[in-house]
């Protein structure tokens, strides 16, 4: 009995030693595996604090949170999304499809105001010494609750764009296919919503008809009654700068009216401070709380297909403007192996960026 007991103890010790060795090697502990990036879901607004506290080694987020972290010394940019995916669409304008069909002129007027606001921003960013530029920075700082230096830095790394090009459509196809490759979307999600393949889905889900019709839209009469449109958007997200500018009554040349009002629109929101993420905007569509949403294209795509939410993408809000930000000592993509990186969630374009960059560099991404 004593001999068997001793043998049992030796066996247990051996198992523990072997298990410890396996964990140290990274086979069962991906945090120590130099080929694995371990990610955790943290909202962009909280990523800078998480990096400072050492909870994570870095994060992938959007503007102004990227520039915020860089300018306050929390971390440095390891990779700008625009350097990896040039001209990639990020945030979009989405319509409740049934609302837009029943209110086509209002939908066209909304898109017209979005286009005018975007073009005003595009022109203003080319004139950094102008009064308009100063005003734009002030509007952005007030909306994002950041100082003007953060807003100025943020606008250097994103493009304000409304037009949906063939290149944009290809990116939408790539995002959708990647979700299918990951198993987050299935062939049945396409079929259940009436699409036979990814290409057909994008062709139908992206509707540029309202942009085309907006070309003929003129400002309403000075005394015209405004039509209320319920809008959902992300809190503090400078990718959606055009909406903020279109709602401002301080834009020169519009006689103290907002651009939306100039084209007959009065906006309102059930969440005045903005939603935390694109999935929340899609939930608002599903609950019939909003008519229009400004959100990332991946959550718009994923939630439409997963839940059958009747939306459609009608314009871009921006391209590029996301980045991987890391603490000091991480100087290249290979250094991300064995590190903890914060992500906004699997339905975000930032998560897709992290996975794609990892795969291109022989790394894998796993939930921490």
Q: What is the mean pLDDT of the chain?
A: 92
Q: Is residue 6's pLDDT more than 80?
A: no
Residue 309 within any structural domain of the chain: yes
pLDDT score, position 115? 98
CA atoms within 13 A on the CB side of 270: 14
Q: Give the range of the structural domain holding residue 341, as residue numbers without chain letter.
A: 33-87+322-367
pLDDT above 90 as % of the chain: 91
Domain membership flag for residue 17: no
Residue pLDDT, tens place only, 358-368: 999 999 999 98
Radius of gyration of the chain (CA): 24
Pair 246, 347 in one domain = no
Asked if residue 86 has pLDDT above 90, the reply is yes
Q: 211-229, pLDDT tens digit by residue?
A: 999 999 999 999 999 999 9
Burial class (CB in 10 A: 0-12, 13-18, 19+), 268: exposed
DSSP secondary structure letters along 223-277: TPPPEEEEEE-BTT-GGGHHHHHHH-S--TTSTTS-HHHHTTEEEE-SSTT-BSS
Residue 4 is predicted with a pLDDT of: 37
Q: Identify whether 336 is part of a domain.
A: yes
> In this structure, are 307 and 360 located in the same domain?
no
Whether 123 and 172 map to the same domain: the answer is: yes
DSSP 277-294: SHHHHHHHHHTT--SEEE
pLDDT at 368: 87
Do 148 and 74 reside in the same domain of the chain? no
Mean pLDDT to the nearest integer, 79-102: 98
Residues in the chain, overall count: 368
Q: Are residues 205 and 338 in the same domain?
A: no
Q: Is residue 1 part of a domain?
A: no
At 71, the pLDDT band (50, 70, 90 cuts) reads very high
pLDDT of residue 204: 98
- Which of the listed residues 320, 339, 356 is the one where a domain comes to its end? 320
Same domain as 50, residue 179: no
Q: How many domains does the chain have?
A: 2
- Domain assignment present for residue 203? The answer is yes
Q: Is residue 21 one of the residues assigned to a domain?
A: no
| Bridge partners for 59 per DSSP | 325, 342
Segment 182-208 mean pLDDT: 97
Residues 6+ away with beta carbon under 8 Å from 266: 226, 227, 228, 229, 260
The pLDDT value recorded for residue 3 is 35
Answer whether residue 181 is part of any domain.
yes
Per residue in 7-59, pLDDT (tens digit) is 333 333 333 333 334 333 343 444 478 999 999 999 999 999 999 999 999 99
pLDDT for residue 32:
73
Asked, for residue 25, whether it belongs to a domain, the answer is: no
Please tell me the predicted confidence (pLDDT) of residue 159: 97
Q: Could you check whether the bond before residue 313 is cis, i.e. omega within 30 degrees of 0? A: no
Q: What is the mean pLDDT of residues 117-144?
A: 97
Domain match, 127 and 242 both: yes
Residues 78 and 122 in one domain: no
Helix (H, G, I), strand (E, B) or coil at 39: strand
Same domain, 126 and 54: no
The predicted-structure confidence for 285-318, as pLDDT tens digits, reads as follows 999 999 999 999 999 999 999 999 999 999 999 9
């Amino acid at each position: 009995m004593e001999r068997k007991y001793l043998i049992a103890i030796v066996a247990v010790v051996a198992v523990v030693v072997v298990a410890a060795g396996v964990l140290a090697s990274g086979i069962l502990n991906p945090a120590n595996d130099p080929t694995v990036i371990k990610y955790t879901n943290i909202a962009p607004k909280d990523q800078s604090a998480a990096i400072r506290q050492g909870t994570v080694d870095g994060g992938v987020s959007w503007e102004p949170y990227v520039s915020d972290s860089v300018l306050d010394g929390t971390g440095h940019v390891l990779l700008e999304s625009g350097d990896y995916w040039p001209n990639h669409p990020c945030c979009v304008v989405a319509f409740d499809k049934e609302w837009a069909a029943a209110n086509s002129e209002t939908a066209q007027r909304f898109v017209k105001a979005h286009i005018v606001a975007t073009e005003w921003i595009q022109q203003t960013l080319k004139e950094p010494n102008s009064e308009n530029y100063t005003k734009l920075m002030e509007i952005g700082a007030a909306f994002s609750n950041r100082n003007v230096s953060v807003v100025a830095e943020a606008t250097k790394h994103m493009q304000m764009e409304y037009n949906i090009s063939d290149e944009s459509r290809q990116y939408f196809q790539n995002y959708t296919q990647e979700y299918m490759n990951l198993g987050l979307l299935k062939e049945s999600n396409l079929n259940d919503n009436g699409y036979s393949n990814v290409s057909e889905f994008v062709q139908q889900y992206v509707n540029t008809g309202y942009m085309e019709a907006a070309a003929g839209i003129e400002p309403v009469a000075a005394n015209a009654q405004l039509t209320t449109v319920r809008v959902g958007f992300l809190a503090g997200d400078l990718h959606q700068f055009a909406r903020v500018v279109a709602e401002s009554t301080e834009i020169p040349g519009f006689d103290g009216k907002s651009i939306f009002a100039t084209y007959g629109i009065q906006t309102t929101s059930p969440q005045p401070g903005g939603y935390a993420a694109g999935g929340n905007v899609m939930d608002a569509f599903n609950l019939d709380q909003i008519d229009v949403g400004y959100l990332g294209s991946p959550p718009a795509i994923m939630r439409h297909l997963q839940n059958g939410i009747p939306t459609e993408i009608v314009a871009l809000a921006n391209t590029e403007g996301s980045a991987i930000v890391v603490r000091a000592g991480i100087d290249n993509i290979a250094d991300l192996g064995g590190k903890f990186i914060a992500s906004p969630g699997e339905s975000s374009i930032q998560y897709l960026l992290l996975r794609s960059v990892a795969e291109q560099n022989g790394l894998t991404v796993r939930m921490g």
